[in-house]
Amino acid sequence: MQILKRTGIDWRERRLISKLYMDQRIKVRLDRGETKSVHTGRRVRQGCCLSPVLFKLYSECPTKEALHGLGDVNIGGKIIQTVKYADDLVLMA
């Protein structure tokens, strides 16, 4: 949530995101009924349309910190800063 604040996301949107993602609880439906409610922690939901946006915003912070003061990385005439994957982050320098 602090990263969202640093990137300039309005408090109303941060509150909405917080309510969507924080303190999530789930139940598993089985043949014999549902399980007890279980706390899932603070993770983004797989398949949620907001998850890739949050991943990108979150991944920008460590990238900017790692590249701070290095200037542009030029490989073959192209400026490359990061290569991002769904669950991993690769810094190229």
What is the pTM for the complete model shown?
A: 0.51
**CA atoms of 52 and 93, how far apart (whole Å):** 24
Could you tell me which residue, 54 or 31, shows the higher pLDDT? 31
Burial pattern 27-38, b for ≥16 Cβ within 10 A else e, equals: eeeeeeeeeeee
Q: Own/partner pairs for 44-50, CB < 8 Å, 24+ apart? A: 45/21, 50/17, 50/20
* Residue 27 pLDDT: 85
Q: Find the range with the poorest average confidence among 4-18, 27-41, 61-75.
A: 61-75
Span 9-26, average pLDDT: 83
Q: Is the pLDDT of residue 61 over 50?
A: yes
Q: Which residues pair with 84 in a beta bridge?
A: 89
Decide if pLDDT at 43 tops 80. Answer: no
